[in-house]
Amino acid sequence: MAQILRYSDTPVGKYDELAILPGSWTGVGPEGSQKNDMSITGIWVSQETTLMNGRRNWNIPKFALALTKSYAKLTSTLTGILHALSGLARFLHHSP
């Protein structure tokens, strides 16, 4: 799953964000119960200040990305990123 967010009022100003959630994981919840949840593996942001804050505040890697208001360009960018992540996931799955 991918999420595109546009923040208009934050302490570091306006910025856009693309979050990649490639799948779910199972962990142990309260009282030993099984818990299923999503996990963000990377975030691309349009503003440099947020690069450092992502790692420092949430321990999630953030990368610079120039998001655009043009739907065609944004779709092309997202398709490229998702294709690259899909290839990486297949590679990691088949690695010893």
Exposed/middle/buried for residue 44 (C-beta within 10 Å: 0-12, 13-18, 19+): buried
pLDDT tens figures, 11-21: 888 888 888 88
pLDDT of residue 66: 67
The structure's pTM equals: 0.57
pLDDT tens figures, 37-87: 777 878 888 888 888 777 778 788 888 876 555 555 666 676 677 666 666
CB 24 within 8 A of CB 35: no
